[in-house]
């Protein structure tokens, strides 16, 4: 019954101290989010409003994309359309080559991770430098993000200090002070900003009515990325469109409160046109999103605003870490996005869910990622990925529940299980689910019998 996720999670959990620390770190984010939520009495209606805006926009997507692109073009912005990751990468490469760019700085964008843009550009001789602190640390360590909002939060300061020392970014041996390390990162990035021929940002929201690219960061790195080089590229998934400023106000109130429990992001920047003497390109990427829109069970994933709240609250994510998942986005929303990308390749992640549905409750856009995982589980048989042992067990349960007499006789036999030593049922490799649990004691009389005997208090 082991999946790739559960094997990776078992490795992660071997370091019990780090597992507990990881759990606490992300639970603290969830608590901060709760504190913010309680400060807004209208929180639940904001969520409903956000969900309705997304539904409306997604059901009129072509119209809003058209409005958005025309607004941008009216101000000289060059708009490109990429049907998939390969087309997106080619468009970016051509723009950079046409401008003779050898180095590009970029702010955080999960879309570029999805399209594997960095390795593609690097293989064509273009240096790509991440400017978000967490992303930069991971780039230096040759690692991937383990969370969509706080990508390097799984790393401890000792690990970051050692990396900075090794790369010559920090000069003071053994200095692990976060303020010092941030200072070192800033100093080294400053040089990269000066040398870069282009800057790329992602896009949190694209406002159709005005053609604004709205980027939210806490470090101001998107602003440095766009104010040093004269060439600005925007990587944007087509689902990021919202109708107008009134809609933006709703999402702005929800996004960062849900993500990090702050009342607002440090920087919210609106980009509408190129700087004087510069050039701005917006690349709108589909890469499977149109197919998702046509999927009546899972179109809601397109409402996601990538706040990461579903990860912070997820007991499986917190206790198994982001790298245990086989898709590059972990946690509840990652399970869904992986299944939409390739259900055969990423199906093992659907087991990484306790179906507690805490993610459904915190999600600001009411994506219901947990409920959708439940739906994906029903499709495993169809894609040839149902676990054989679980199938046998489910069929056995079905047989019992369909035959009440058989069910009752089995209940009478259940107390025999009390005779089997716990070491065999719970602390052996035969039952990986038993590890960490104690064996329940079966009652000698079942509920039905006690009820008939009048021994159950009403």
Which CB atom, from 218 or from 273, has the smaller least distance to ligand SF4? Answer: 218
Q: Which of 17, 19, 1 is nearest to 9 (CA)?
A: 19
Query: Whose structure tokens read 């490799």?
Result: 429
Could you say which DSSP state residue 297 is in? T
Give one word for 62, left, alpha or beta, with left for phi > 0 and alpha for psi -120 to 50: alpha
Give every CB contact of residue 113 below 8 A, 6+ residues apart in sequence.
Answer: 144, 145, 328
Which CB atom, from 134 or from 369, has the smaller least distance to ligand SF4? Answer: 369
Task: Give me the least distance between CB of 429 and ligand SF4, in Å please.
Answer: 35
Strands (E), 192-230: 198-201, 205-207, 212-217
What tokens does 13 get? 């959990």
Task: Give me the least distance between CB of 301 and ligand SF4, in Å please.
Answer: 7
Question: Using the rule CB under 6 A, which residue among 72, 150, 152, 363 binds ligand SF4?
Answer: 363
Helix (H, G, I), strand (E, B) or coil at 259: helix
Q: What x-and-dash track marks residues 314-343 binding ligand SF4 by CB under 6 A?
A: -------------------x----------
Q: Name residues contacting ligand SF4, limited to 59-88 (CB under 6 A).
A: none
Q: Is the Cβ–Cβ distance between 278 and 242 less than 8 Å?
A: no
**Residue 352 makes contact with ligand SF4 by CB under 6 A:** no
| Alpha helices (H) in 304-453, listed in sequence order | 309-313, 315-320, 331-341, 343-346, 358-362, 369-379, 388-402, 404-413, 422-425, 447-452
Which CB atom, from 96 or from 307, has the smaller least distance to ligand SF4? Answer: 307
Task: Give me the least distance between CB of 259 and ligand SF4, in Å please.
Answer: 7
Q: Which of 383, 105, 319, 139 is nearest to 231 (CA)?
A: 105
Sheet of 241-242, strands arranged across: 241-242, 205-207, 212-217, 267-271
Which CB atom, from 50 or from 200, has the smaller least distance to ligand SF4? Answer: 50
Task: Give me the least distance between CB of 306 and ligand SF4, in Å please.
Answer: 5
Q: Is the Cβ–Cβ distance between 348 and 380 less than 8 Å?
A: no
Q: Name residues contacting ligand SF4, limited to 147-206 (CB under 6 A).
A: none
Task: Give me the least distance between CB of 361 and ligand SF4, in Å please.
Answer: 10
Q: What x-and-dash track marks residues 400-419 binding ligand SF4 by CB under 6 A?
A: --------------------
Task: Give me the least distance between CB of 368 and ligand SF4, in Å please.
Answer: 8
Q: Count of CB atoms within 10 A of residue 68's CB?
A: 27
E strand or H helix at 251: helix 245-260
**Residue 369 makes contact with ligand SF4 by CB under 6 A:** yes
Q: Which of 182, 266, 269 is nearest to 218 (CA)?
A: 266
Q: Which of 164, 212, 166, 202 is nearest to 186 (CA)?
A: 164
Q: Count of CB atoms within 10 A of residue 165's CB?
A: 18
Binding residue count for ligand SF4, defined by CB under 6 A: 14
Candidates 187-195, 244-252, 356-364, 432-440: pick the segment binding ligand SF4 (CB under 6 A): 356-364
Which CB atom, from 281 or from 298, has the smaller least distance to ligand SF4? Answer: 298
Distance, in Å, from the CA atom of 342 to the CA atom of 347, rounded to the nearest integer, reads 8
Helix (H, G, I), strand (E, B) or coil at 254: helix
**Residue 46 makes contact with ligand SF4 by CB under 6 A:** no
Helix (H, G, I), strand (E, B) or coil at 233: strand
What tokens does 286 get? 């589909």
Task: Give me the least distance between CB of 213 and ligand SF4, in Å please.
Answer: 19
**Residue 364 makes contact with ligand SF4 by CB under 6 A:** yes
Which CB atom, from 199 or from 370, has the smaller least distance to ligand SF4? Answer: 370
Candidates 36-44, 227-235, 260-268, 359-367: pick the segment binding ligand SF4 (CB under 6 A): 359-367
Which CB atom, from 101 or from 250, has the smaller least distance to ligand SF4? Answer: 250
Q: Name residues contacting ligand SF4, limited to 291-310 (CB under 6 A).
A: 304-310
Beta bridge partners of 168: none
Which CB atom, from 115 or from 365, has the smaller least distance to ligand SF4? Answer: 365
Task: Give me the least distance between CB of 254 and ligand SF4, in Å please.
Answer: 8
**Residue 95 makes contact with ligand SF4 by CB under 6 A:** no
Distance, in Å, from the CA atom of 97 to the CA atom of 394, rounded to the nearest integer, reads 57
Which CB atom, from 105 or from 304, has the smaller least distance to ligand SF4? Answer: 304
Task: Give me the least distance between CB of 311 and ligand SF4, in Å please.
Answer: 7
Task: Give me the least distance between CB of 202 and ligand SF4, in Å please.
Answer: 14
Task: Give me the least distance between CB of 258 and ligand SF4, in Å please.
Answer: 6
User: Which residues here bind ligand SF4, judged by CB under 6 A?
Assistant: 304-310, 333, 362-365, 367, 369
């Amino acid at each position: 019954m082991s999946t790739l996720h559960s094997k990776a999670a078992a490795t992660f959990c071997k370091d019990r101290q780090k597992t507990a620390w990881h759990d606490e770190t992300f639970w603290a984010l969830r608590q901060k989010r709760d504190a913010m939520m309680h400060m807004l009495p209208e929180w639940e209606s904001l969520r409903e409003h956000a969900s309705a805006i997304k539904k409306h926009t997604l059901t009129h997507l072509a119209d809003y994309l058209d409005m958005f692109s025309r607004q941008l073009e009216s101000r000289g912005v060059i708009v490109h359309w990429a049907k998939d990751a390969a087309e997106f990468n080619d468009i970016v490469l051509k723009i950079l080559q046409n401008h003779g760019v050898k180095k590009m700085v970029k702010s955080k964008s999960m879309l570029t991770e999805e399209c594997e843009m960095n390795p593609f550009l690097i293989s064509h001789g273009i240096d790509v430098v991440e400017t978000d602190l967490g992303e930069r640390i991971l780039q230096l360590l040759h690692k991937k993000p383990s969370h969509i909002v706080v990508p390097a939060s799984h790393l401890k300061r000792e690990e970051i200090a050692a990396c900075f020392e090794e790369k010559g970014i920090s000069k003071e041996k053994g200095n692990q002070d976060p303020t010092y390390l941030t200072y070192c990162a800033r100093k080294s990035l400053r040089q990269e900003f000066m040398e870069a021929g282009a800057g790329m940002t992602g896009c949190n929201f694209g406002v159709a009515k005005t053609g604004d690219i709205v980027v939210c960061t806490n470090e101001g790195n998107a602003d440095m990325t766009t104010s040093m080089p004269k060439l600005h590229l925007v990587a944007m998934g087509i689902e990021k469109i919202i109708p107008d400023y009134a809609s933006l106000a709703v999402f702005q109130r929800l996004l960062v409160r849900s993500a990090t429990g702050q009342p607002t992001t440090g920087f919210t920047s609106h980009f509408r046109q190129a700087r004087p003497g510069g050039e701005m390109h917006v690349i709108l990427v589909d890469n499977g999103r149109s197919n998702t829109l046509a999927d009546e069970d899972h179109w809601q994933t397109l409402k996601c605003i990538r706040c990461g709240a579903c990860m912070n609250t997820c007991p499986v994510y917190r206790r198994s870490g982001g790298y245990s998942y086989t898709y590059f986005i972990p946690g509840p929303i990652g399970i869904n996005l992986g299944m939409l990308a390739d259900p055969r390749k990423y199906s093992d992640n659907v087991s990484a869910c306790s179906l507690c549905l805490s993610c459904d409750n915190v999600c600001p856009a009411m994506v219901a990622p947990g409920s959708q995982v439940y739906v994906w589980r029903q499709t495993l048989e169809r894609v040839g990925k149902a676990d054989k042992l679980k199938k046998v067990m489910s069929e056995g349960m079905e047989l019992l529940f369909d035959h009440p007499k058989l069910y009752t006789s089995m209940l009478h036999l259940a107390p025999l299980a009390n005779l089997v030593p716990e070491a065999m049922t719970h602390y052996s490799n035969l039952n990986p689910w038993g590890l960490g649990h104690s064996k329940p004691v079966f009652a000698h009389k079942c509920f039905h019998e006690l009820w008939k005997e009048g021994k159950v208090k009403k």
